[in-house]
Amino acid sequence: MKKIVTVLICLFFGFNATLYAEYSLTLAEALKCAIANNELINASAKSKEVSQYHLKAARGKHYPNIYVEGSVNKLNDPIILTLTDARAAVIGASAATFKAATTYATGTPTPDPVVDAYKKQLEEKIPQFDMQFQDDLFYKLTAGVVWPLYTGGKIAANSQAKKAELAISEMEYTRTLNSTITSVIESYFRAKLAQEARDIRQDYLDDIIQHNENAQKLFKVGMISKANKLRAEVALAQATREYQKSERDLELAIVVLSNIIGVELDKVKLISDFKQIEDVKEAKHYEDIAYSNNITLKDMQQKKEMLNQKKRAIKGNFLPTIAAFGKYEIYKDNLTMFEPEWVAGLNARLDIFKGGEDYDEYKAYSKQVEVLDLYIQNANKMIDTAVKKYHHEAEAALEQYESLKSSQDLTEENLNLYKKSFKEGLATSIEVIDAELALEKVRLEQSQALFDFNVAYAKLIDICGNSHLLMDNIIGEDQNNEK
């Protein structure tokens, strides 16, 4: 439901831009559009789904495999057991016994024609000693089950490895999300800074225009010199150039923001103010969070867990595998006397020699774990450096902003004083223009300090792995403001 609402918001901005000359955009709305339109975030979400299915598939190997197998078979000839020699031997032995018995009974040798006639009778009465065991065309339909009982821990290790892969895909999704959030905040506030700079230069230009008009009037009545009049004209030309440059800077910043959030922005007013957080905690607080929650660090730790589970699976190849099995012949018409209707039992297998394949693979995974340990050590150092860097930048920016508040009061008071004195002919044009420039400089530096703070703080939270929480706070504040 949230995704649908976000898409509708993005469509609204695209449609609204075609109807109105200028429209408003909050930081929360920019974040929603960026997340809805970012291809990398969507791809990471799909990758997470892939890992979920891989984990389910790995867990399925714990269960028995039940199958039905059928086949149609054609042999070159039927399988027939032929005992012709045995039949001939039986008939020959019977004829010899007949001859001996009649000779003994009569006392005279039995004639060969009589023996041959007896053999002929046996040939006719005794069937052929041929038995067909299998037709040349036969069918089989079998139901079977195979259930691994012990695999040396390979199945369990594979499931744990897939679980680690799922965690890695979730880390990648969070990393992409955090990176997008940080980029949007930086780009939005950079455009906001350009917008404020344009507005400040607009105010300065308006004041210089008014000052130039006053200078022209005072010159005509002889209250100021020509040099003062010319100085006002030069200041007007310079203020016009600075304003035009600020317009171009704002256009470029809006283009960058448009590309990041995936929405065409033309004349847009950025209405979310720079955030000020007065209670920035000590660097140690953010270091502790980063060490336990940094996405890159957690990603490497999950990769290490995955490699350890793969090592465990390889170790299982050195142990026997035991499985229970059973088969039942559903179609019995083509069974031979040597084939049972059903069979069940246990099967055990132990590989004795495989060319050292498993040993070398185990050592390779062990070395990869050692490499990851070094990367993790380096990541901890980089996290420590990054937290201190962005924390220092955030604090420095806040201190700069606070120190500029009193400067602004002073420059505003000086400007008002010089304006009044200039109208009375007691101040020069240069003094008024310098006061205008001083106030413009202070206002620009204040905006720059707030921008520096927001960018540094967003990057600090990104290092801590909590950019999505920062986004939730921004969106929550935006919704409260709407109420």
**Angle subtended at Cα 328 by Cα 323 and Cα 329, rounded to the nearest 5 degrees:** 140
Report whether pLDDT(480) > 70: no
Rounded to 10 degrees, the C-alpha dihedral 116/121/123/129 comes to -140
Pick the CATH number of 2-63+153-317+356-482 from 2.60.120.620, 3.40.718.10, 1.20.1600.10, 1.10.10.60: 1.20.1600.10
146-168 tens-digit pLDDT:
999 998 899 999 999 999 999 99
Mean pLDDT, the chain, rounded, equals 85
Tell me how far the alpha carbon of residue 183 is from its chain's centroid: 18
Rounded-to-integer distance, Cα 129 and Cα 412, Å = 125
Q: What is the mean pLDDT of residues 283-290?
A: 91
133-143 tens-digit pLDDT:
778 888 889 99
Q: Are strands 130-134 and 342-349 parallel, antiparallel or unpaired?
A: unpaired
Q: What is the mean pLDDT of residues 38-60?
A: 91
300-311 tens-digit pLDDT:
999 999 999 999
Residue 327: how many CB atoms within 10 A of its CB? 17
268-277 tens-digit pLDDT:
899 988 876 6
67-89 tens-digit pLDDT:
999 988 888 888 777 777 777 78
Rounded-to-integer distance, Cα 37 and Cα 13, Å = 13
320-360 tens-digit pLDDT:
999 999 999 998 887 877 788 999 999 999 988 888 888 99
Rounded-to-integer distance, Cα 380 and Cα 184, Å = 26
Q: So what's the pLDDT on residue 255? A: 93
CB contact at 8 A, 446 and 453: no
177-223 tens-digit pLDDT:
999 999 999 999 999 999 999 999 998 899 889 888 888 888 888 87
**Angle subtended at Cα 147 by Cα 145 and Cα 149, rounded to the nearest 5 degrees:** 155
* Residue count (the chain): 483
Q: So what's the pLDDT on residue 19? A: 41
Give the confidence band of 10 by pLDDT, cuts at 50, 70, 90. low
Tell me how far the alpha carbon of residue 102 is from its chain's centroid: 100
Instruction: Please provide the DSSP assignment of 231-283 as one string.
Output: HHHHHHHHHHHHHHHHHHHHHHHHHHHHHHHTS--SSEEE-PPPP--S-PPPH
Residue 480: how many CB atoms within 10 A of its CB? 8
Q: So what's the pLDDT on residue 478? A: 54
105-115 tens-digit pLDDT:
777 787 878 77
Q: So what's the pLDDT on residue 440? A: 87
Q: Which residues contact 320 (CB under 8 A, 6 or more apart)?
A: 150, 152, 348, 349, 350
Q: So what's the pLDDT on residue 91? A: 77
Report whether pLDDT(265) > 50: yes
Report whether pLDDT(3) > 50: no
Residue 55: how many CB atoms within 10 A of its CB? 20
DSSP state for residue 58 in the 8-state scheme: H
Give the confidence band of 2 by pLDDT, cuts at 50, 70, 90. very low
Rounded-to-integer distance, Cα 266 and Cα 426, Å = 46
Q: Is 79 helix (H, G, I), strand (E, B) or coil?
A: strand
- Predicted structure pTM score: 0.73
Report whether pLDDT(57) > 60: yes
